[in-house]
Structure 1
Amino acid sequence: MIIIRMRSGLGNQMFQYAFFKQMQQWHGNEKVKLDISTYHWNVHNGLELDRVFGIDLEADSVPASVSRSFADVGYRFQDRLLRRLRGIKHRSYRFWENVSFEEYRTMDDVYLEGFWNNEQFFAGVKDEIRATYCYRGALSAADQQLIQEMKDKQSVAIHVRRGDYKKYPKKFPMCTPDYYKQAIERVQREAENSSLSCFVFSDDLDWCKQELTFLPDVTFVDNPNPLHASKDMYLMSCCKHNVIANSTFSWWGAWLNLNPDKRVIYPESALLTFEFMPEGWQKL
């Protein structure tokens, strides 16, 4: 059996589940399972894929008795230490580190913990993932009007991630106003200087209103309920272009954008999170 551990917030969960579906395609549905035991900690907003996208994660998860034997154990422990600590034998299971792409196709009996923040890791199931990650929540009349504006205008979704990043600025460098200014200027040039309309999504709109005064025809999209963050992701995907932060959340907002002529701008700091970006996306 191959067990994949689910962890962290919505954007990372989406990468992990996409990788899980690719692994199922390679190895078979019964051989590849999820460990969702991490979410008894209630980290971020907890496990969101089931609530947001209606995915039946329980059906694809290992039993609690199995997940408990692995939970909270780092990959640095050797099997013998695992057995001593947990009293459970894992003779054929290994904790792997620095795995190559091709090794995922051939591995067997392994517990995997990671993020797989790379389109390559679900390249064979892209269409299925797009269908799975279709927004299923309610949309108000105001939301519908906003979407229509995005369709009618040369719209640019701008995502600003601050929130928890302010606590760890070295690990998660925040994008500066200058980055957003240069990004908008680039989109403007490549859109043949047509009039842009900017739609700002952020967990710190007060900062955005103070620092991003240069944005043309700007709308600050206010969503005070963190449990409805997936609606922001959907609305970002409705714009014609995307300026993203170094965030898995805004990555998905841009990736789910179906506009074939979209421009996606990302900061150089995003490469701390993503090893590779999709073809056509532009680093700034």
Structure 2
Amino acid sequence: MILVQLKGGLGNQMFQYAAGRTLALQHDVPLFLDKGSYEPKQAGMYGLGGLHISASLAGEEMIPRPGFLQKAFNRLAPAPWRRIFRETGMDFDPRFFSLRPPVYLKGYWQSWKYFEPQAAQIRKDFTFNIEFSPAIMAKAAELPQQDTVAMHYRRGDYTNSEAAAFHGILGPDYYEKAAQHFNGAKFIIFTNDPAWVRSNLPAGIDYEIPSGSLSHTQYEDLFLMSRCRHQVIANSSFSWWGAWLNEYPGREVVAPRHWFAKEGLTAKDLVPDSWRQY
């Protein structure tokens, strides 16, 4: 089996699932998801239930609890022999594809390279298994018929001091450059802070903000985001997936050049080469 530790919000969970699912398919073994890292007050953070995933939730008895000698062996052993494989950084680790089941994956796995061999299957898994309202479906049908650009502002949890020190918050200059790139388009704004965004948008753009008015869940936001022709994403795994799930033939994606504020971290294996960075 392949066992994946889940942590973070929906976007993070999607990366973790995609990596684990790819490895499970490679070895034709079942995939299990470990929600044990979430505290009881975070129980509502699990989001993969709204997607057509192919995995089961792990029982407590399935989680490895290595002793001292097992930990030492696991740390020193070649990757294919390890029963627990921890991510060592944000860059793609090519040892990933040498892993053999049973193995427990612990990390964020934020690179499209981890699931590139199964990209078509991941797209199928990441279709929604919930019924959207007629208003959401009507908007979803309308968006690709116009020159629309999904623009994501991630604030909320990113504004606390610890998260800001790690991720950073994108400034107005980034959105100004992105708006100039898509000059004349209709911007569909997605955000967890609509009031702040209304006062800080690029000047003169044509826009609407469905977040909080038309769309009220993360699934609705992600669905509508992916239906726009183009994307301007934040330094957020959530809008990363909104862009990656977009199947419009002529899509263009603008992503931030600086994904992390913390020194030494890069997004060189996170942002595909075909996406423009500012």
Aligned positions, number:
261
Question: 1:187: Cα distance to partner?
Answer: 2.3
User: How is 1:182-197 mapped onto 2 (pairs within 5 angstroms)?
Assistant: 182-188=177-183, 195-197=184-186
Q: 2:23 maps to what in 1?
A: 23
Q: 1:43 maps to what in 2?
A: 42
CA distance, structure 2, for counterparts of residue 98 and residue 263 of structure 1: 31
Question: 1:273: Cα distance to partner?
Answer: 6.6
Are the aligned partners of 2:6 and 2:13 in contact in 1 as well (CA < 8 Å)?
yes
Q: Does 1:231 pair with 2:220?
A: yes
RMSD between aligned residues: 2.9
CA 64–29 in structure 1, closer or farther in 2 if over 3 Å, else same: same
Measured against aligned partners, the alpha-carbon deviations of 1:179-199 in whole angstroms (never above 9, x if no partner) come to 1111010123xxxxxx31111
User: How is 1:76-155 mapped onto 2 (pairs within 5 angstroms)?
Assistant: 78-79=68-69, 93-98=83-88, 101-108=93-100, 109-155=102-148
CA distance, structure 2, for counterparts of residue 282 and residue 210 of structure 1: 26
Gaps of 5+ in 1: 71-76, 83-90, 189-194
Where is the helix percentage greater, Structure 1 or Structure 2?
1
CA distance, structure 2, for counterparts of residue 161 and residue 232 of structure 1: 12
CA distance, structure 1, for counterparts of residue 156 and residue 82 of structure 2: 42
Identical aligned pairs, as a percentage? 29
CA distance, structure 1, for counterparts of residue 208 and residue 214 of structure 2: 18
Are the aligned partners of 1:157 and 1:236 in contact in 2 as well (CA < 8 Å)?
yes
Are the aligned partners of 1:10 and 1:249 in contact in 2 as well (CA < 8 Å)?
yes
SS at match of 1:245: coil
SS at match of 2:259: helix
Are the aligned partners of 2:176 and 2:202 in contact in 1 as well (CA < 8 Å)?
no
State the TM-score, normalized to the length of structure 1. 0.80
One-letter amino acid of the structure 2 residue matched with residue 98 of structure 1: T
Q: Which has the larger radius of gyration?
A: 1
CA distance, structure 2, for counterparts of residue 44 and residue 208 of structure 1: 29
Are the aligned partners of 1:240 and 1:262 in contact in 2 as well (CA < 8 Å)?
yes
Gaps of 5+ in 2: 73-80
One-letter amino acid of the structure 1 residue matched with residue 116 of structure 2: A
Q: 2:195 maps to what in 1?
A: 206
Are the aligned partners of 1:135 and 1:231 in contact in 2 as well (CA < 8 Å)?
no
CA 148–26 in structure 1, closer or farther in 2 if over 3 Å, else same: closer
